[in-house]
A and B are shown apart, each in its own frame.
Chain A
Amino acid sequence: MDINEIIKPENLVYGKSKVLTDTVMHYCPGCSHGVVHKLLAEVIEEMDIQDKTIGISPVGCAVFAYKYINIDWQQAAHGRAPALATATKRLYPDKYVFAYQGDGDLASIGTAEIIHACNRGENIVVIFINNAIYGMTGGQMAPTTLLGMKTATTPYGRKAELNGYPLKITELIAQLEGTCYVTRQSVQNPGSVRKAKKALRKAFENSAQKKGTSFVEIVATCNSNWKMPPIKANKWMEENMFPFYPLGDIKDR
């Protein structure tokens, strides 16, 4: 069978979201960012809110998110995305505003901003990519790096007595009165991708209902800095990350 006989509109069962651009992503093979971007674009398209959505991109690998999702974007200084999102949402209450942040951005340098934005109950969506390592700067220890995990700045593995403990910031965020929905998801197989998309959709819907802050953590892989091929990284994540960062809704009201 010739390929052109297969590529016909009547055979189409799944297409790329119109909210995604045609730009080739810079993410490494196996990286979770690409899947999360796709899900975000699909949710924005399905809710028909492309013209009402403003994204805040972080410092880190997702700094270039604007190249891939065709909406209006602000690129924040390291850790400050929740502050930008706060002002944007308060000045445009009818828009959908989300902050997209990594673990170094959200749980280290931007701890104050995320805690206070969530505690004020800003009607924003926060997408938190936790791969337990700094990606863009080359694999240094993150606040969420597991004990024993080797990184560029913990070459012997993270030690509590030297580096402190991995920060379960999502559990901390769930304690805050301002948050309405706090969940932890992953995107390593079709089932988890479906659940993650559902969580993102719910977060955006909450924002329209002014219920407070919705916080979606995605436990993610970083193949290049974990120094593992994609399948091995997924397995490592399931065996090592999930026991410490268990998946599921932590808060839903």
Chain B
Amino acid sequence: MAEKLLKKGNEAIALAAIRYGADGYFGYPITPQSEVMETLMEEMPWETTGMVVLQAESETSSINMLYGGACCGKKVMTSSSSPGISLMCEGLSYMAGAELPCLVVNVIRGGPGLGTIQPSQGDYFQAVKGGGHGDYKIIVLAPASVQEMYDFVGLGFDLAFKYRIPTMILSDGAIGQMMEKVELRPPVKRLTDQEINQKYGHWATVGKPATRNGNFISSLSLAASEMEAINLRLQKKYRTIEENEIRFEKLMCDDADYILVAFGSSSRICESTVEIAREKGIRLGLLRPITLFPFPTPVIQEMLPQLKGIMSVELNSGQMVEDVKLAANGAVPVEFYGRMGGSIFSPEEVFKAFAEKFNL
């Protein structure tokens, strides 16, 4: 029988990193995610799997350690919270440009600025629309439970290497801090240097054998025509990801007249809102995007003919709602309800807003 533990979301990230065969974690303390590195240091994986764990001097340095580690073909990851992720956005842009795989966990806190340590979903735009400079995308996974915090470490690494792209787990202070049952999956062994050489030696900096010229990893290309060709290739990759990697969950959507769209901790609250509505005879469903990039646009579009309205529910001032509106493209009314800066809505509050907006 699989081992089950009662763990915080942040602790689950750390345990998953070791058990999914991560080669390196590089991070800097920031509330509300410091338990990730603390747990790793307690577990001492360098003595068991050989995983490197290093406390860097800053988030800037952490993400650039990921750049170096990813260049080596190694499975590297970091975790931080909103202000720290802002510092990492430069590095994420470089890694997207250089097509490097890595896993970044953002346990969002309220902002802007130093903000608050309470949970928020205010970094949706930063994660999904870029954050750093230039035309790039990263894959963004939104866990709604401690189990998903654990599972998405494995999924995140798989996607990152499949497409050679940075992947982010976009969580928040609620999922990071809450304790839930988590089932540990069968451990995955770290790749040996030889296996890495075989799999990634054609692009990674593993030491140049006599049989090939030196590999070179960069995001620099001074000639405009070359840079455009790189950008077109990146965009093609993003379209492939949109075609193949959309993940979502539907609750009571089959007969729904209305749906809520919510991710992460908001979706947990909205599950209860759906129950409240159903008790009142209102056919309300919930669409939970699991991948925020790629966004489940086609899933919303398929449902449009049956719907009278959609409400996006977020712990921010209305960010994902823009993507929901783009998907609906005016076919049905799209409303928004949210709270900001660390405040969390109740299921009843969400229902009240929903009923008011649609005159129910």
Contacts and interface: CB of A to CB of B under 8 A. Distances in A.
Interface of A: 21, 50-54, 56-57, 63, 66, 69-77, 80, 83-88, 90-92, 95, 112-113, 115-116
A91 B196 CA distance: 12
B235 interface: no
Contact of A72 (B193, B210, B216): B216
8 contacts: A70-B214, A77-B64, A77-B94, A80-B60, A83-B62, A87-B66, A88-B69, A91-B24
Contact of B220 (A75, A84, A85): A75
B220 A74 contact: no
Contact of A113 (B64, B205, B215): B64
Contacts of B61: 80, 83, 86, 112-113, 116
A74 to B, nearest CB: 4
Interface in B13-66: 23-24, 26, 52, 54, 56-58, 60-62, 64-66
Contacts of B71: 74, 84, 88
Given A66-B216, A91-B52, A116-B57, A71 B67 contact: no
A80 B98 CA distance: 15
Contact of B207 (A52, A77, A87, A116): A52
Contact of A92 (B67, B72, B90, B209): B72
B347 interface: no
A166 B74 CA distance: 39
Contacts, number: 126
A51 B69 CA distance: 18
Contacts of A88: 68-69, 71-72, 205
Given A80-B67, A87-B24, A87-B72, 17 more contacts: A51-B208, A57-B218, A63-B218, A69-B214, A72-B208, A72-B215, A74-B68, A74-B218, A75-B220, A77-B64, A80-B61, A84-B65, A86-B54, A87-B26, A87-B69, A90-B52, A91-B74
B213 interface: yes
A149 B143 CA distance: 56
A69 B208 CA distance: 11
Contacts of B216: 66, 72-73, 75
A51 B207 contact: yes
B207 A112 contact: no
Contacts of B217: 73-75
Interface in B150-184: none
A70 B193 CA distance: 21
Nearest to A84: B68
A230 B58 CA distance: 41
Contacts of B72: 54, 87-88, 91-92
Which of A75, A83, A87 has the most CB atoms of chain B within a 10 A radius of its CB?
A87
Which of B66, B68, B72, B205 has the most CB atoms of chain A within a 10 A radius of its CB?
B68
Contacts of B204: 72
B207 A92 contact: yes
B109 to A, nearest CB: 23
Which of A74, A84, A91 has the most CB atoms of chain B within a 10 A radius of its CB?
A91
Given A70-B213, A72-B214, A75-B218, A87 B205 contact: no
Contacts of B219: 75
B90 A86 contact: no
B210 A51 contact: yes
A173 to B, nearest CB: 15
Interface in B190-247: 193, 204-210, 213-220
B210 to A, nearest CB: 7
Given A75-B217, A76-B64, A91 B207 contact: no
Interface in B70-96: 71-72, 74, 76, 90-91, 94
A92 B91 CA distance: 21
Contacts of B69: 87-88, 91
B220 A86 contact: no
